[in-house]
Every structure is written in C-alpha cells, then in structure tokens.
Structure 1
Amino acid sequence: MGGIIVALVVALAVTVTVLVMRTDSDAPTPADGGDSEFASAGDTGPVSIITEDPTCDAWGRVGRDYASSLGRVNWDTRDRSLPAAAWTAPQASMYEAAQSAMTAASNQANNLSRQTPHRVMRKLYLQFNAYTTEFSKRIPDYQPDDDDFIAVSDAIGSALSNICSSVSFGSAKSVAPLVPAANPPTKVDEQIDGGPSQVFLDQLVPACSEWETAAQEFSDETAAWLAIDPAISAADWTPQQRSINDAVVPIMTESADEVEELSRRSENSTFEDFGVLAAQYRRAFALAVPSYTAADGFLSQSAAFLVKTVVWACKAVE
C-alpha cells in the first residue's frame, strides 16, 4: 500500500512536485433531504466524477495533520508482523500515539461526511472513520491480520486525496463532461441518521474473489505503462511511450466496464458506489490520455485507490 504517510502527504499539495507520484457533475443540490443533518441526503442519483466539493480543503488539512502525526512516530516503518504481545515498550508507545492520531482524524472525517453534498464522498468519509476506528479498537490485542483494516483506511484516505487533487488541479472538471453518465444505483438503502458508521463489508460477497482477480490482471496488463514517469506530458512522450499509453486506453476502458459490472452484482450499495466511481475515473483517464498532463494522474490514482479500497475490505473479512 505504500503507507499512509506517502498517501496523505499527496492530499491537496500545492506544488506540482506531488504530480510525479503514482502511489461535469457539479455538486448536486439535495432533492429531498428533509431535516437530515447530511448535506448529501438528497443525492440518490448516479455516481459521477467529483468536480467540486466544499470539504476538500478541510480534508487536505486533516490528511496533512494525520500524516504528520504518524510520521513523527515512524508509523510507516513499523513491523506489521509483530502481535501486541511481542511489542517492546517503544513499539507500544508508537501504537498508542498512532491511536490518538487515528481518533482525531476519524472524528474529523465523520464531521466532513455531514457537509459534503455527494453521497459517495459521504460514504468515503464514513468508511475512513469506520475502518480507522475498527483498527484502533484492535490495537490493544493487535494481531498481524488486523493490519488489513488500516490498509482499507489508507486506501480510502488516498482515494479522497486524489479525488480532491483532481478538483484542485482542474483535471476532473476538464474531462468530466466527456464521460458518459453512469446508470442509477441498483439501490440506495443506507439509513442516514448520523450514527456510528460500520465497515461496509463484514462478510465475504461473491464479487470479492472476482474483484481481486480483476485488480491483479489490470496491474499485470498495465505494468509497462506504470513504468513510465507520470510527470512526462503527452507532448514530450517518446514514440515508444506514446505507443504504450495508446495501448493502455482500451485496457482502462475494459477494466472500467468490468469494475462497474462486478460492483453492481455485489448487492452492497457502498461496494457498488465505490466501484462505479472507480469506473468513471478510469474512463475519465482513458479520455485524457491523448493530451495527457501530469495533473491527469490524479484521475487514474483516484480509480486505483478506490479499487484497492475494495480489495483490502475483502481481505479484512477473509
């Protein structure tokens, strides 16, 4: 996963240097939110590319503060294989400090979930809260398998960061109108009551095994493309680099179709929303390839981390 430190430092960075890292639907107007405390209560339509969101700047601050807190205790270099019973005093202290940082970030994400007008952003914030909180609760009796929960949290945090960066750098808005609208969700059955969020997968679903296979196949098929420096714009590609990028377009499109199809078969509304959003960002990136600039990398990374979110959520219940 690369770790939360690298993932969240990317969050809304204001310099182009972050663009070398590979790790048009405006905000919907709530249609029938009633007295709900959630701004997204009326968003029940198709998932789409996020071109603006009032919570993104705040998430950037949350992500940077969280990454800084974990960086101070060298969280990303910890030995994940050691159970709590085997920790030294300094290791136990590290986990204690990380737990405090996780609690703060989780609470802040929960607050942002109420303010975003997008249903899928609400779910991302709530699931960041849910998986981070679940991992935090397991720290006193930590076992190596528990690390899957923080891996989900890392992936969600990275997805949020890249979605927001694609807004800040304009890549989302420039391509979103070109992406065909997705079909409406199969179902929108979550209760919106402001109560504690639960992890969206508490048992394996049939789509999990196919999802993991599809994710691995996509990684294998795009290995040559991933090896190209993402800071190089299309105008500066060598003939070989252009050939590789041209070849990745149909792979992206085919993967998007597969991801969407699998997510709609999951019978899980959050799984479906994350999958359809990943598909839309992957389609957006495919459309951006001919005139690619480094900012377009946030589109592909948004899709990648949304896919990883589901991969690790499935692993967490295996």
Structure 2
Amino acid sequence: MRDAADQVSKLMKVTPNRAMRLLYEQFIAYARAYSNAVPDYEPADNFLVGVVGAVSSALVRVCLSIEYGAAPARAPFVAALSPSLLTDKVAAAAPPQPFLGNGDPTCSDWYALLAQFREDTVAWQNLDAEIPANEWSQEQRKTIDDIGPVMKEFANDIEELGRRSSNATLQDLALLAAQYRRAYVESLPTYTSVDSYLSGASAGITSAIIDGCRAAEA
C-alpha cells in the first residue's frame, strides 16, 4: 500500500484541480497511515484502509463520470458553489496528513445523516443501475420519482454539515460529495447507466468521511 501511495503522489504533483488533489492527498495520507499501523495492527486500523478504499472508489467514479460523459452532461444543471470553495489551486508542498486525524465535532452528525439516508433509500438501492430511464417499469419510475426529493435534501444536508466544520478539507470534500449527488439527481429524468458514476463518486466521499471519523475515534 505504501508503493501505491508513492505512485499516487506522482499524480498529485501534476494535478492542478483542487478537488482531485484533495482526493489524491487523502489516499496517500491514509494509505501511509495504514502501512505504518501494520506492525502493531489492531482491528480498529481497518477504518484507515476503509478510507483508502472509499477514496479510491470516489476517484475511479469521478474519472469514469468524465470519461463517459455523465459529469459534463449534468454539470450545467447544478448550481455553482461559492467561488472560494473547490477552486483550482495548488496546495502547499507538504506530506499529506489524514484529514480527520483528530476527529471532528460533526462526526456524530455524519453517522446519523448517513444512517438515515440508507434507511430512506432502500427501494432505490435495490434498483438495477444498468436499466436506463426509458426502460423503467411503472414501479421503478415511482421509486425514482420518490427518491429525487430525498436526495436533494440529502445533498443540502451534506453541504450544511460540511460548512459547519472548521476543517477545510472535510468541508471541501463534503461540498464535492453534495455536488455529485445533485448532478445525479439532475440525471434522473433521462438517466442512463453511466450516471451511476455520479452517485458512486458522492457515496465514496461520504464513506471516506465516515471511516475517517471512526478511525479517529477508535
């Protein structure tokens, strides 16, 4: 895993986009933290590798959403965030550190928010993401119609919770997750399978936040 972190470090150095740099940085930070923990491994260290896996998932899905056209097709319909956030700038050169190394006061609220979202979206989770909108059954379409408002509210809650934190990296990651969730909602009327990468990117980021919180509290 340390070798993977070193490889990603090379990518990070040539990536000017702040959002992608944040994801690369946290992959590196948590991969190295897990590698350092291995000699004295404890079960709680699994949360460190959980962040690595979640960030990896988010990175892959961000890239796939761009490659297959989902992100550029849906982005124009998502309102831009404050210009002071998610801006393109190069971070100061320093070894990346786990963004939740000391936890955050909002962690308990993140647990509650994600648990409620899972409960509210059971029917949606059971849908086949490969089926496009023009092939949905009446029951599937009703599930999608019902889930749109739920996901809009969820995205707003993610943003609000992120802005409550004084942790700049947590805030930026939360806002990124909110924007990808909103893009997914915008895709629903004309959904195709590649739009699933949008929700997947958002889910990867929020999973990283949850496991980061758990790692800090373990």
TM-score (norm 2): 0.95
Q: Greater share of helix residues, 1 or 2?
A: 2
Aligned residue in 2 for 1:164 = 63
- Does 2:99 match 1:238? no
Match of 1:222 among 109, 121, 136: 121
Q: Which runs of 5+ in 2 are unaligned?
A: none
Cα deviation code 1:97-154 (max 9, x no counterpart):
xxxxx12210111111111121111111011000000000111110101111000010
What residue number does 1:45 align with?
A: none
Find out whether 1:260 has 2:163 as its counterpart: no
Specify the code of the residue in structure 1 equivalent to 2:209.
V
CA distance in 1, matches of 2:76, 2:86: 25
Q: In the alignment, which residue of structure 2 is the partner of 1:150?
A: 49
CA RMSD of aligned residues (A): 1.6
Structure 1 SS opposite 2:99: coil
Aligned to 2:198: 299
Q: Report the AA paired with residue 127 of structure 1.
A: Q
Which residue identity does 1:149 align to in structure 2? L
Q: Distance in 2 between matches of 1:284 and 1:186?
A: 17
Counterpart of 1:213 (choices 101, 104, 112) is 112
State percent identity of aligned pairs. Answer: 39
Q: Distance in 2 between matches of 1:274 and 1:249?
A: 22
**Aligned-partner residue type, residue 170 of structure 1:** G
Give CA-to-partner distance per residue, 1:5-51, whole Å, 9 cap, x none: xxxxxxxxxxxxxxxxxxxxxxxxxxxxxxxxxxxxxxxxxxxxxxx
Which residues of structure 1 form unaligned runs of 5+?
1-101
Choose between structure 1 and 2 for higher RCO, CA contacts under 8 A separated by at least 6 residues. 2
Compared with structure 1, are the counterparts of its residues 125 and 199 closer, same or farther at alpha carbon in structure 2 (3 Å cutoff)? same
CA–CA distance in structure 2, aligned partners of residues 151 and 113 of structure 1: 20
Question: How do 1:38-77 residues align onto structure 2 when only pairs under 5 Å count?
Answer: none
Closer, same or farther in 2 for the Cα pair 1:232/1:191, shift >3 Å? Answer: closer
Distance 1:178 1:250, change over 3 A: same
Give per-residue Cα distances to partners, 1:222-251, cap 9 Å, x unaligned.
110010110001100000000001111001
* Cα distance in 2 for residues equivalent to 1:153 and 1:308: 10
- Aligned residue for 1:289, secondary structure, equals helix
**2:180, 2:199 → 1: CA distance?**
6
Secondary structure at the aligned position of 1:202 is classed as coil
Rg: which structure is higher? 1
Given that residues 31 and 49 in structure 2 are in contact (C-alpha distance below 8 angstroms), is that contact kept between their aligned partners in structure 1? yes
Cα distance in 2 for residues equivalent to 1:285 and 1:232: 15
CA contact (8 A) 2:18 2:86 kept: no
Distance in 2 of aligned mates of 1:203 and 1:140: 22
Q: What's the CA shift for 1:184?
A: 3.5
Aligned length: 216
Taking structure 1 as the reference length, what is the TM-score of the superposition?
0.66
Structure 1 residue 191: deviation in Å? 9.1
Identify the residue that residue 284 of structure 1 maps to in structure 2.
183
Q: Which runs of at least 4 in structure 1 moved beyond 2 Å after TM superposition? A: 184-188, 190-195
Over 3 Å counting, the alpha-carbon distance change for 1:177 and 1:191 in structure 2 is closer
Change (3 A) 1:187 1:253: closer
The answer as to whether partners of 1:260 and 1:276 remain within 8 angstroms in 2 is yes
Q: Determine the C-alpha separation between the residues in 2 that align with 1:158 and 1:124.
A: 10
